[in-house]
């Protein structure tokens, strides 16, 4: 393969049937991947691969909004303090400062590309969510993510230098391992692109790139109950880990306190903003129980609310608690939450202005991820990461509501600056082998994939979820390790398919979460274990996890 030095603007990528050469490969088409692609398309050709239809992403489901300091009674320092306080001592203050201070500029850019945030009297209508001391959540009614995704995709469609490959599922990042190149121990690894399954044609293509951006989002599907759509199977964490990248803080999984009970998968989320608007959490017998747990009551940060709900459910044996907005003016509810109101009424026959909403927690967000510096660079050369899959240091042990969309836009911009630097360098000429599926067969036993997936999700829900203990985590680890061996064996002899690739990733991400949780011998933020129920003020480091030996087949 011939690699170009990309000092200058280059034409669109070149393509043959199974090998696609591009300057920059972006894996994922959520807010992080799309924002980054728009910026770097000024520098070079960009191919975006995305495993489903292009808008399908966690971004598309975000309701509440994006946090930024725009109010006159607000300040950068207040937003920084709120973020640090919710992050429970593990946020990297310097990175939080960057995110908060650069936020307003990135918000302006979103407005410039056509995002319509809700306004009142020509000013942004800013709302408040749990953990925020001021109103600072910009939103587009209660469909903020959808509006951002729409505007980004529209803008992308105007860029000649960007091509989107829908239904292209990244399987693995290409590194020296695939080149069968021996690497001395002090030599850095490089990323040369990725292998991806074209789901329409059922062939594996080789995407070769000078720079690869991993923006593949979260991993909610590791758990039985999740707010995340099916695309969120943690592929990016698994690919990066297998490639040898450094990951961190995978034990910090945020559970959203309020998803509609029995709404299916993904669970229908009742936005945090509903509590910000005056919604009160009650037991089924009517008690406003949050006052027993935190002075901020229903507006306490998510981890506190989630554990309070978990405790109340265990005490009462109930399957849900209730979110009550019936005391608020019904016209205001309809105006502020038109979609939640409509969806509950039409799909679930629930009039939230008159009836309490039955809610349970569900896995929502991964605070840890692939470690990056402030320019989006990972521990592997030419591999960048941004968005939910990345661990920039802003969330620490818990994420402040609506900081994730902000993190994605700020650090995708920063990663574009990092990419600019990277493109000044000379790229090595390497020859990458095509995908080799010799020795594999089509397997008829697809039902096993579904069974294995359910086992992983149930195990993680029961033993690696909201309240942990060493005993539960060890139990989870034994089951996960066993499943991983079984799945590895299945993967080795079977032709790749969407379900199989996801399963291989889910089981690995589950293991990374459990191993990280076992390493942290304290309770902090989202990680709560009954064996070490207090925070240990000496444990202020991140939980680093990476593959020590050369990647083998798995």
Ligand X SMILES: Cc1cc2nc3c(=O)[nH]c(=O)nc-3n(C[C@H](O)[C@H](O)[C@H](O)COP(=O)(O)OP(=O)(O)OC[C@H]3O[C@@H](n4cnc5c(N)ncnc54)[C@H](O)[C@@H]3O)c2cc1C
Active site residues: 302
- Backbone dihedral angles phi then psi of residue 21, each to the nearest 5 degrees: -105, 130
Cα separation, 385 vs 387, whole angstroms: 7
Among 10, 22, 45, 61, binds ligand X (CB under 6 A): 61
Question: Of 127 and 379, which CB lies nearer to ligand X in the complex structure?
Answer: 127
CB 196 within 8 A of CB 434: no
The reply on whether position 464 binds ligand X by CB under 6 A is no
> Of the candidates 51, 146, 414, 479, which one interacts with ligand X according to CB under 6 A?
51
The verdict on 131 binding ligand X (CB under 6 A) reads no
Tokens of 542: 């991140």
Distance from C-alpha of 134 to C-alpha of 216, rounded to nearest angstrom: 31
Q: Which of 40, 43, 49, 164 binds ligand X (CB under 6 A)?
A: 49
CA 367 to chain centre: 8
Stretch that binds ligand X, among 88-96, 200-208, 212-220, 419-427 (CB under 6 A): 212-220
Site string for ligand X, 267-286 (x = CB under 6 A): --x-----------------
Give the nearer residue to ligand X in terms of CB position, either 145 or 529: 145
Per DSSP, what are the bridge partners of residue 390? 370
Residues 6 or more apart in contact with residue 186 via CB below 8 angstroms? none
Answer for the pair 36, 213: CB distance below 8 angstroms, yes or no.
yes
- Taking CB under 6 A as the rule, does residue 216 contact ligand X? yes
Contact with ligand X (CB under 6 A): which of 402, 416, 457, 516?
Answer: 402
- Asked whether position 514 contacts ligand X by CB under 6 A, the answer is no
Nearest to 140 by CA among 92, 107, 167: 107
With beta carbons less than 8 A apart as the criterion, state whether 281 and 275 touch: yes
CA distance 145 to 66: 9
Query: Quick one: 87 or 387, whose CB is closer to ligand X?
Result: 387
Whose CA is closest to 392, among 242, 214, 226, 179? 214
Pairing of strands 123-124, 544-545: unpaired
Question: Judged by CB under 6 A, does residue 387 bind ligand X?
Answer: yes
Told to check if 36 binds ligand X by CB under 6 A, we report no
How far is Cα 387 from Cα 527, in angstroms, rounded to an integer?
21
Indicate which single residue of 147, 251, 388, 511 sits in contact with ligand X (rule: CB under 6 A). 388
Least distance (Å) between residue 521 CB and ligand X? 28
Stretch that binds ligand X, among 62-70, 102-110, 312-320, 484-492 (CB under 6 A): 62-70
Of 405, 375, 372, 406, the C-alpha closest to 391 is 372
- Could you say which of 41, 45, 59, 161 contacts ligand X (CB under 6 A)? 59
Query: Minimum distance from CB of 448 to ligand X (Å)?
Result: 21
From residue 4 to residue 33, the character string flagging contacts with ligand X as x (rule: CB under 6 A) and all else as - is -----------------------xxxxxxx
Q: Are 87 and 249 in contact (CB under 8 A)?
A: no
Nearer to ligand X, 397 or 476 (CB): 397
In the complex, least distance from residue 328 CB atom to ligand X, rounded to whole angstroms: 20
CB of residue 232 to ligand X, shortest distance in Å? 6
Q: Please check whether residue 397 is in contact with residue 252, taking contact to mean a CB–CB distance below 8 angstroms.
A: yes
Identify the three-state secondary structure at position 371.
strand
Q: Cβ closer to ligand X: 352 or 389?
A: 389
Q: Taking CB under 6 A as the rule, does residue 408 contact ligand X?
A: yes
The contact pattern for ligand X, residues 142-171, with x = CB under 6 A and - = no contact, is --xx-----------------------xx-
CA 141, 347, 275, 32 torsion: positive or negative? negative
- For residue 508, cis peptide bond before it (omega within 30 degrees of 0): no
Handedness of CA 435, 437, 442, 443 (dihedral sign): negative
Q: Where does this chain touch ligand X (CB under 6 A) — which range of 46-54, 95-103, 241-249, 419-427?
A: 46-54
Neighbours of 201 (CB within 10 A): 12
Instruction: Give yes or no for residue 110 binding ligand X (CB under 6 A).
Output: no
Site for ligand X in 290-349 (CB under 6 A): none
Please count the residues of this chain forming the interface with ligand X, following the rule CB under 6 A. 44
Residues near ligand X (CB under 6 A)? 27-33, 49-52, 56-59, 61-66, 144-145, 169-170, 215-218, 227-228, 231-232, 235, 269, 365, 387-389, 402-405, 408
């Amino acid at each position: 393969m011939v690699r170009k030095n990309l000092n200058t603007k280059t034409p669109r990528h070149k393509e043959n049937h199974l090998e696609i050469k591009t300057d920059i490969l972006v894996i994922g088409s959520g807010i992080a991947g799309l924002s980054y692609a728009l910026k770097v398309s000024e520098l070079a050709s960009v191919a975006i691969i995305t495993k489903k239809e292009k808008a399908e992403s966690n971004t598309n489901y975000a309701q509440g909004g994006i946090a930024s300091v725009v109010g006159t009674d607000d300040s950068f320092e207040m937003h920084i303090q709120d973020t640090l306080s919710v992050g429970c001592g593990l946020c990297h203050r310097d990175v939080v400062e960057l995110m908060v201070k650069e936020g307003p500029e990135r918000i302006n850019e979103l407005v410039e590309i056509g995002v319509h945030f809700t306004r009142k009297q020509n000013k942004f209508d800013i709302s408040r969510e749990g953990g925020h001391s001021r109103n600072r959540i910009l939103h587009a009614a209660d469909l903020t993510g959808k509006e951002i995704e729409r505007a980004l995709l529209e803008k992308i469609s105007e860029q000649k230098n960007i091509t989107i490959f829908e239904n292209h599922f990244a399987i693995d990042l290409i590194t020296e391992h695939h080149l069968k190149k021996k690497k001395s121990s002090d030599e850095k690894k490089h990323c040369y692109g990725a292998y991806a399954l074209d789901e329409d044609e059922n062939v594996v293509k080789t995407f070769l790139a000078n720079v690869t951006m991993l923006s593949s989002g979260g991993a909610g599907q590791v758990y039985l109950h999740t707010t995340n759509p099916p695309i969120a199977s943690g592929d990016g964490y698994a690919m990066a880990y297998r490639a040898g990248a450094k990951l961190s803080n995978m034990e910090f999984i945020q559970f959203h306190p309020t998803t509609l009970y029995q709404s299916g998968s993904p669970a229908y989320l009742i936005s945090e903003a509903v509590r910000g608007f005056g919604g009160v959490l009650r037991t089924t017998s009517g008690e406003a129980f949050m006052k027993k747990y935190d002075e901020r009551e229903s507006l306490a940060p998510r981890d506190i609310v989630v554990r309070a709900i978990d405790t109340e459910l265990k005490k009462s044996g109930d399957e849900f608690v209730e979110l009550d907005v019936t005391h608020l003016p019904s016209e205001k509810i309809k105006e502020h939450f038109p979609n939640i109101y409509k969806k509950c009424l039409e799909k679930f026959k629930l009039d939230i202005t008159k009836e309490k909403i039955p809610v349970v927690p569900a896995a929502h967000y991964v605070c840890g991820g692939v470690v990056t510096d402030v320019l989006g660079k990972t521990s592997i050369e030419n591999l960048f990461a941004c968005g939910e899959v990345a661990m920039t240091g802003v969330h620490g042990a818990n994420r402040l509501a609506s900081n994730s969309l902000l993190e994605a836009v700020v650090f995708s911009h920063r990663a574009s600056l990092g990419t600019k630097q990277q493109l000044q360098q000379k790229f090595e000429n390497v020859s990458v082998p095509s995908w080799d599926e010799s020795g594999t067969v089509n397997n008829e036993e697809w039902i096993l994939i579904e069974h294995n997936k359910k086992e992983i999700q149930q195990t993680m829900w029961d033993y690696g979820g909201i309240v942990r203990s060493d005993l539960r985590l060890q139990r989870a680890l034994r089951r996960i390790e066993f499943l991983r061996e079984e799945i590895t064996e299945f993967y080795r002899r079977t032709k790749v398919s969407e379900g199989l690739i996801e399963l291989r990733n889910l089981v690995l991400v589950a293991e990374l979460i459990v191993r990280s949780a076992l390493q942290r011998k304290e309770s902090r933020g989202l990680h709560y274990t009954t064996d070490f129920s207090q925070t240990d003020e000496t444990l202020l480091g991140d939980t680093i996890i990476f593959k020590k030996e050369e990647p083998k087949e798995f």
